[in-house]
Amino acid sequence: MNAATRAPINAIEIEEAIFAAQLKSIRRNNFLPIPPQERNFVGDGDFLAIGCEFLRHFVELGGLKPQHRVLEIGCGIGRMALPLTQFLEAPAGRYSGFDVVPAGIEWCQQNIAAAYANFEFLHLDFKNQLYNPDGRLDEQTVLPFESDSVDFQFMISVVTHLDPAYTTFYLREAARVLRPTGRLFVTAFVMDEANRTLVAAKKARPAFHLEGEGPDYIADKAHPMAAVAFDADWFLRSARAQGLHLQRPIAFGHWSGRVAENFQDICVFQRGK
């Protein structure tokens, strides 16, 4: 096919090619700060590569734009925030993140926020059995962010460590903070019928215990908040009760034994219908 007969490249294809090149550039950026492994409490694997993979999901599945105002619930030590420093375009594109672990926030403040004026990190002392058992704040607290102020929020491996009360709290606050038609990107262990069958057949990792009425199920009885799954009906109904509706079908992960690219299940909610 010569130049005269080649099909024209449309604007979407150009945008996708630019974003793919941007992701490649971020992954190769040796100047981005990476926390030392002894301070990393958010999991194993290539810190920057995992962050870049989720940035791709945020854009392709969640519709994140460079000019969006972003809030991360449970930002850890900046694994998701770091690639966003190269994607969000100031002054409109801004990021706020908070976490219950002060050491992670301190590192992010010193190594990310100090270099990027459109990024901020807050320590909020919420009680969490796994990460912050002596926290002073509970699910009656209002998050320190204005209503209708955020375009895009995400919680990566957060509800996987929460009980039903805290999960409902964060869904409620996320809906309050989102602008109309804003989106919430959540990873979770969602116990639909297919996943329940795979768990019962011992195909899943984590191997959740299915006894009890739900809506939550744990994998480690000695450490209940290490991994928590929720009934799909309960989780989606709880989101809808806050005005959050699935924007796209759940992208189920391979934790349960399904064939999938992602590990946890990905839910993208939109405020309003």
Using pLDDT thresholds of 50, 70 and 90, give the confidence band for residue 272.
Answer: confident
DSSP structural state of residue 210: -
124 neighbors 96 (Cβ within 8 angstroms)? no
> Which whole number is the average pLDDT over 227-244?
98
Residue 10 reports pLDDT greater than 90: no
Q: How many domains does the chain contain in total?
A: 1
What pLDDT does residue 3 have?
A: 52
CB-based burial, 32-60: b 16+ in 10 Å, e otherwise:
bebbeeeebebeeeebbebbbbbbebbbe
Mean pLDDT across 135-155: 95
pLDDT (mean) for 21-31: 94
Helix (H, G, I), strand (E, B), or coil: what is residue 197?
helix
The domain that contains 91 carries what CATH number? 3.40.50.150
Query: In this structure, is residue 5 part of a structural domain?
Result: no
Q: What was the pLDDT predicted at 43? A: 78
What confidence tier does 9 reach under pLDDT thresholds 50, 70, 90? low
b/e per residue, 110-129, with b = 16+ CB within 10 A? ebbbeebebbebebbebbbe
Look at residue 1 and tell me if it is in a domain.
no
Please report the sign of the dihedral spanned by the C-alpha atoms of residue 134, residue 41, residue 80, residue 94. positive
What is the per-residue pLDDT across 51-68, written as a single tens digit (0 to 9) for each?
Answer: 999 999 999 999 999 999
Q: How far apart are CA 70 and CA 79, in angstroms?
A: 15
Burial level of 66, CB count in 10 A (0-12/13-18/19+)?
Answer: middle
pLDDT class of 92 with cuts at 50, 70, 90: very high
Residue 98 belongs to some domain of the structure: yes
Q: What is the pLDDT of residue 121?
A: 98
Q: Say yes or no to pLDDT of 4 above 90.
A: no
Q: Report if residue 4 sits inside a domain.
A: no
Q: Is a pLDDT exceeding 80 seen at residue 2?
A: no
CA dihedral (26, 72, 132, 44) in degrees, to 10, reads -30
Average pLDDT over residues 162-172: 96
Domain range for residue 23?
A: 11-29+43-271
Per-residue pLDDT, averaged over 207-232, amounts to 96
At residue 7, the pLDDT reads 57
**Structural domain contains residue 200:** yes
Structure tokens at 101: 């672990």
> Is residue 5 predicted with pLDDT exceeding 80?
no
Taking all residues of the chain, what is their mean pLDDT, rounded to a whole number?
94
How far is the C-alpha of 147 from the C-alpha of 108, rounded, in Å?
A: 25
Q: Is residue 111 part of a domain?
A: yes
253 within some domain: yes
Residue 81 has pLDDT above 90, yes or no: yes
Angle at CA 70, nearest 5°, toward 135 and 141? 30
Distance (Å, whole) CA 26 – CA 83? 7
The pTM of the full predicted model, rounded to 2 decimals, is 0.94
Residue 268 pLDDT more than 60?
A: yes
User: Domain for residue 207, yes or no?
Assistant: yes
CA angle 175, 89, 247 (to 5 degrees): 35
Helix H or strand E segment including 99? strand 94-99
